[in-house]
Amino acid sequence: MRKKIVAGNWKMNKNYNEACNLISSIVDGLRNSVISPEQLVILAPPFPFLEPAVARTEEIEYISVSAQNCHSEEKGAFTGEVSASMIRSVGATHVIIGHSERRNIFNESDEFLAKKVLAAQNAGLIPIFCCGEMLPEREKGIHFQVVEEQLNKGLFHLTQQEIKKIIIAYEPVWAIGTGVTATSAQAQEMHKFIRSLLIKKYKNETAENISILYGGSCNAKNAKELFANADVDGGLIGGASLTAQDFVTIVNSF
Protein backbone atom coordinates (compact mmCIF):
# COMPACT_ATOMS: atom_id res chain seq x y z
CA MET A 1 0.00 0.00 0.00
CA ARG A 2 1.37 3.39 -0.99
CA LYS A 3 2.11 5.99 1.66
CA LYS A 4 -0.04 9.04 2.29
CA ILE A 5 2.54 11.85 2.50
CA VAL A 6 2.62 15.50 3.46
CA ALA A 7 6.00 17.12 2.74
CA GLY A 8 6.79 20.69 3.77
CA ASN A 9 9.17 22.54 1.45
CA TRP A 10 10.35 25.59 3.39
CA LYS A 11 12.30 26.97 0.43
CA MET A 12 14.69 29.84 1.43
CA ASN A 13 12.94 30.89 4.62
CA LYS A 14 13.64 31.10 8.37
CA ASN A 15 16.81 31.69 10.35
CA TYR A 16 18.26 29.09 12.71
CA ASN A 17 16.18 29.96 15.77
CA GLU A 18 13.00 30.35 13.74
CA ALA A 19 13.62 26.99 12.08
CA CYS A 20 14.15 25.22 15.41
CA ASN A 21 10.98 26.79 16.78
CA LEU A 22 8.97 25.73 13.74
CA ILE A 23 10.23 22.15 13.97
CA SER A 24 9.31 21.99 17.65
CA SER A 25 5.89 23.53 17.01
CA ILE A 26 5.12 20.98 14.29
CA VAL A 27 6.26 18.09 16.48
CA ASP A 28 4.20 19.38 19.39
CA GLY A 29 1.21 20.03 17.16
CA LEU A 30 1.22 16.45 15.88
CA ARG A 31 1.32 14.87 19.34
CA ASN A 32 -2.45 14.58 19.52
CA SER A 33 -2.85 13.55 15.89
CA VAL A 34 -3.73 10.01 14.91
CA ILE A 35 -1.02 9.13 12.38
CA SER A 36 -1.52 5.76 10.71
CA PRO A 37 1.39 3.50 9.65
CA GLU A 38 0.56 4.42 6.04
CA GLN A 39 1.19 8.12 6.66
CA LEU A 40 4.50 9.99 6.45
CA VAL A 41 5.35 13.59 7.30
CA ILE A 42 8.45 15.06 5.64
CA LEU A 43 10.16 18.30 6.64
CA ALA A 44 12.37 19.94 4.00
CA PRO A 45 14.17 22.91 5.57
CA PRO A 46 17.17 24.72 4.03
CA PHE A 47 20.54 22.93 4.24
CA PRO A 48 21.78 24.65 7.47
CA PHE A 49 18.75 23.36 9.36
CA LEU A 50 18.83 19.70 8.29
CA GLU A 51 20.82 18.52 11.29
CA PRO A 52 18.59 20.11 13.97
CA ALA A 53 15.55 18.83 12.11
CA VAL A 54 16.95 15.31 12.19
CA ALA A 55 17.93 15.62 15.86
CA ARG A 56 14.45 16.80 16.86
CA THR A 57 12.56 14.14 14.89
CA GLU A 58 14.79 11.05 14.73
CA GLU A 59 12.80 9.24 17.42
CA ILE A 60 9.48 9.96 15.69
CA GLU A 61 8.76 7.14 13.27
CA TYR A 62 6.31 9.01 11.06
CA ILE A 63 8.52 12.09 10.44
CA SER A 64 11.40 12.15 7.96
CA VAL A 65 13.72 14.96 6.89
CA SER A 66 14.46 15.98 3.30
CA ALA A 67 16.88 18.32 1.59
CA GLN A 68 15.52 20.65 -1.08
CA ASN A 69 18.20 19.88 -3.66
CA CYS A 70 21.47 18.06 -4.26
CA HIS A 71 24.24 17.97 -6.85
CA SER A 72 24.68 15.16 -9.34
CA GLU A 73 28.31 14.48 -8.37
CA GLU A 74 29.48 12.88 -5.14
CA LYS A 75 32.35 15.33 -4.59
CA GLY A 76 34.66 17.72 -6.42
CA ALA A 77 35.28 21.34 -7.34
CA PHE A 78 31.66 22.50 -7.25
CA THR A 79 31.80 25.52 -4.95
CA GLY A 80 28.56 26.11 -3.08
CA GLU A 81 27.03 22.75 -3.98
CA VAL A 82 25.98 19.92 -1.65
CA SER A 83 26.17 16.24 -2.55
CA ALA A 84 23.60 13.56 -1.81
CA SER A 85 26.08 11.68 0.36
CA MET A 86 26.62 14.82 2.49
CA ILE A 87 22.87 15.10 2.99
CA ARG A 88 22.58 11.46 3.94
CA SER A 89 25.50 11.79 6.38
CA VAL A 90 23.54 14.20 8.60
CA GLY A 91 20.60 11.80 8.79
CA ALA A 92 18.20 13.12 6.14
CA THR A 93 16.42 10.42 4.14
CA HIS A 94 14.83 12.30 1.22
CA VAL A 95 15.72 15.00 -1.31
CA ILE A 96 13.55 17.13 -3.59
CA ILE A 97 14.71 16.97 -7.21
CA GLY A 98 13.42 18.94 -10.18
CA HIS A 99 11.33 21.53 -8.36
CA SER A 100 10.00 24.07 -10.86
CA GLU A 101 12.13 26.79 -9.26
CA ARG A 102 15.26 24.72 -9.91
CA ARG A 103 14.13 24.07 -13.48
CA ASN A 104 13.13 27.65 -14.28
CA ILE A 105 15.45 29.85 -12.21
CA PHE A 106 18.54 27.65 -12.29
CA ASN A 107 17.93 26.16 -15.75
CA GLU A 108 18.22 22.54 -14.64
CA SER A 109 17.53 20.22 -17.56
CA ASP A 110 15.77 16.86 -17.48
CA GLU A 111 19.08 15.20 -18.30
CA PHE A 112 20.79 16.86 -15.32
CA LEU A 113 17.88 15.90 -13.07
CA ALA A 114 18.18 12.29 -14.20
CA LYS A 115 21.78 12.29 -12.96
CA LYS A 116 20.66 13.79 -9.65
CA VAL A 117 18.08 11.05 -9.19
CA LEU A 118 20.74 8.37 -9.58
CA ALA A 119 23.15 10.23 -7.28
CA ALA A 120 20.46 10.48 -4.63
CA GLN A 121 19.57 6.82 -4.80
CA ASN A 122 23.22 5.77 -4.79
CA ALA A 123 23.65 7.75 -1.57
CA GLY A 124 20.64 6.08 0.03
CA LEU A 125 18.22 8.99 -0.33
CA ILE A 126 14.65 8.80 -1.61
CA PRO A 127 14.07 11.38 -4.36
CA ILE A 128 10.89 13.44 -4.41
CA PHE A 129 10.81 14.06 -8.16
CA CYS A 130 8.85 17.10 -9.31
CA CYS A 131 7.14 17.55 -12.65
CA GLY A 132 4.58 19.98 -14.01
CA GLU A 133 3.60 22.39 -16.74
CA MET A 134 3.71 26.17 -17.00
CA LEU A 135 0.59 28.24 -17.72
CA PRO A 136 1.23 28.72 -21.47
CA GLU A 137 1.69 24.96 -21.84
CA ARG A 138 -1.64 24.25 -20.16
CA GLU A 139 -3.35 26.94 -22.21
CA LYS A 140 -2.00 25.30 -25.38
CA GLY A 141 -3.35 21.95 -24.22
CA ILE A 142 0.07 20.29 -24.15
CA HIS A 143 0.30 19.81 -20.37
CA PHE A 144 0.09 16.02 -20.58
CA GLN A 145 2.82 15.98 -23.22
CA VAL A 146 5.06 18.22 -21.10
CA VAL A 147 4.73 16.07 -17.99
CA GLU A 148 5.22 12.86 -19.93
CA GLU A 149 8.44 14.22 -21.45
CA GLN A 150 9.74 15.32 -18.04
CA LEU A 151 9.13 11.84 -16.64
CA ASN A 152 10.57 10.06 -19.67
CA LYS A 153 13.78 12.08 -19.61
CA GLY A 154 14.22 12.62 -15.88
CA LEU A 155 12.87 9.49 -14.24
CA PHE A 156 12.02 6.62 -16.53
CA HIS A 157 15.65 5.57 -16.97
CA LEU A 158 15.25 3.83 -13.60
CA THR A 159 14.78 0.09 -13.30
CA GLN A 160 11.65 -1.41 -11.79
CA GLN A 161 13.41 -1.82 -8.44
CA GLU A 162 14.76 1.74 -8.51
CA ILE A 163 11.43 3.38 -9.38
CA LYS A 164 9.87 1.79 -6.29
CA LYS A 165 12.06 4.10 -4.19
CA ILE A 166 10.71 7.29 -5.74
CA ILE A 167 8.04 9.79 -4.73
CA ILE A 168 6.55 11.89 -7.54
CA ALA A 169 5.20 15.41 -6.97
CA TYR A 170 3.00 17.03 -9.61
CA GLU A 171 3.25 20.80 -9.39
CA PRO A 172 1.38 22.89 -11.94
CA VAL A 173 3.79 25.82 -12.16
CA TRP A 174 0.92 28.26 -12.72
CA ALA A 175 -0.39 27.38 -9.25
CA ILE A 176 2.82 27.74 -7.22
CA GLY A 177 2.95 30.78 -4.99
CA THR A 178 0.15 32.40 -6.98
CA GLY A 179 -2.74 31.56 -4.70
CA VAL A 180 -4.32 29.79 -7.67
CA THR A 181 -4.90 26.09 -7.15
CA ALA A 182 -5.73 23.44 -9.68
CA THR A 183 -9.25 22.21 -9.13
CA SER A 184 -9.67 18.87 -7.45
CA ALA A 185 -10.69 17.43 -10.81
CA GLN A 186 -7.62 18.87 -12.58
CA ALA A 187 -5.31 17.46 -9.93
CA GLN A 188 -6.89 14.01 -10.10
CA GLU A 189 -6.82 14.06 -13.91
CA MET A 190 -3.06 14.66 -14.03
CA HIS A 191 -2.27 12.29 -11.16
CA LYS A 192 -4.25 9.55 -12.88
CA PHE A 193 -2.37 10.28 -16.11
CA ILE A 194 0.99 10.05 -14.32
CA ARG A 195 -0.01 6.73 -12.79
CA SER A 196 -1.06 5.46 -16.22
CA LEU A 197 2.45 6.25 -17.49
CA LEU A 198 3.90 4.32 -14.56
CA ILE A 199 1.62 1.38 -15.34
CA LYS A 200 2.66 1.45 -18.99
CA LYS A 201 6.37 1.55 -18.10
CA TYR A 202 6.57 -0.51 -14.91
CA LYS A 203 3.31 -2.51 -14.71
CA ASN A 204 0.31 -2.08 -12.46
CA GLU A 205 1.59 -3.46 -9.14
CA THR A 206 4.60 -1.14 -9.07
CA ALA A 207 2.59 1.90 -10.20
CA GLU A 208 -0.06 1.36 -7.55
CA ASN A 209 2.58 1.55 -4.82
CA ILE A 210 4.21 4.84 -5.87
CA SER A 211 2.99 7.93 -4.03
CA ILE A 212 2.09 10.93 -6.19
CA LEU A 213 1.81 14.25 -4.34
CA TYR A 214 0.10 17.47 -5.38
CA GLY A 215 2.30 20.55 -5.17
CA GLY A 216 0.42 23.64 -6.29
CA SER A 217 -0.76 25.98 -3.50
CA CYS A 218 -2.16 23.18 -1.36
CA ASN A 219 -3.21 24.67 1.97
CA ALA A 220 -5.19 24.02 5.15
CA LYS A 221 -8.47 24.94 3.43
CA ASN A 222 -8.25 22.82 0.28
CA ALA A 223 -6.10 19.86 1.38
CA LYS A 224 -8.98 17.63 2.44
CA GLU A 225 -10.74 17.98 -0.90
CA LEU A 226 -7.52 17.40 -2.86
CA PHE A 227 -6.48 14.39 -0.77
CA ALA A 228 -9.89 12.77 -1.26
CA ASN A 229 -9.01 12.02 -4.89
CA ALA A 230 -8.08 8.42 -5.65
CA ASP A 231 -4.66 9.21 -7.16
CA VAL A 232 -3.66 12.17 -4.97
CA ASP A 233 -1.54 10.66 -2.20
CA GLY A 234 -0.76 13.86 -0.32
CA GLY A 235 0.94 17.17 -0.92
CA LEU A 236 4.25 18.93 -1.38
CA ILE A 237 3.45 22.03 0.64
CA GLY A 238 5.14 25.40 0.16
CA GLY A 239 3.98 28.51 1.98
CA ALA A 240 1.56 26.70 4.28
CA SER A 241 4.42 24.59 5.66
CA LEU A 242 5.94 27.70 7.29
CA THR A 243 3.10 27.93 9.80
CA ALA A 244 2.93 25.01 12.21
CA GLN A 245 -0.83 25.13 12.74
CA ASP A 246 -1.58 25.15 9.00
CA PHE A 247 0.90 22.35 8.33
CA VAL A 248 -0.54 20.19 11.10
CA THR A 249 -4.05 20.80 9.74
CA ILE A 250 -2.90 19.60 6.32
CA VAL A 251 -1.32 16.47 7.84
CA ASN A 252 -4.66 15.76 9.53
CA SER A 253 -6.58 16.15 6.26
CA PHE A 254 -6.45 12.47 5.30
Model pLDDT for residues 231-246, shown as the tens digit of each residue = 999 999 999 999 999 9
Closest by Cα among 64, 66, 25 to 47: 66
Please answer whether residues 214 and 226 qualify as being in contact, where contact means their C-beta atoms are separated by less than 8 angstroms.
yes
Q: Where are the alpha helices (DSSP H) in 10-49?
A: 16-29
- 69 contact partners, CB below 8 Å, separation of at least 6: 82, 95, 96, 97, 99, 102
The Cα 63–Cα 215 span in angstroms is 19
The Cα 11–Cα 71 span in angstroms is 17
Please answer whether residues 111 and 153 qualify as being in contact, where contact means their C-beta atoms are separated by less than 8 angstroms.
yes
Whether 206 has a pLDDT exceeding 90, the answer reads yes
| pLDDT at residue number 176 | 78
Encode pLDDT of 58-67 as tens digits: 999 999 999 9
Encode pLDDT of 129-183 as tens digits: 999 999 899 999 999 999 999 999 999 999 999 999 999 999 999 887 777 778 9
| pLDDT at residue number 107 | 97
Q: Mean pLDDT across the stretch 2-6?
A: 97
| pLDDT at residue number 73 | 98
Alpha carbon of residue 115 to chain centroid: 17
The Cα 81–Cα 73 span in angstroms is 9
Whether 94 has a pLDDT exceeding 80, the answer reads yes
The residues facing 44 across adjacent strands are 9
| pLDDT at residue number 182 | 83
Percentage of the residues of the chain whose pLDDT score is greater than 70: 100
Q: Is the pTM of this model over 0.85?
A: yes
Please identify every residue annotated as catalytic.
99, 171
Q: If you count DSSP H runs as helices and E runs as strands, how many of each does the chain have, helices first?
A: 12, 8
Domains and CATH numbers, the chain: 4-251 (3.20.20.70)
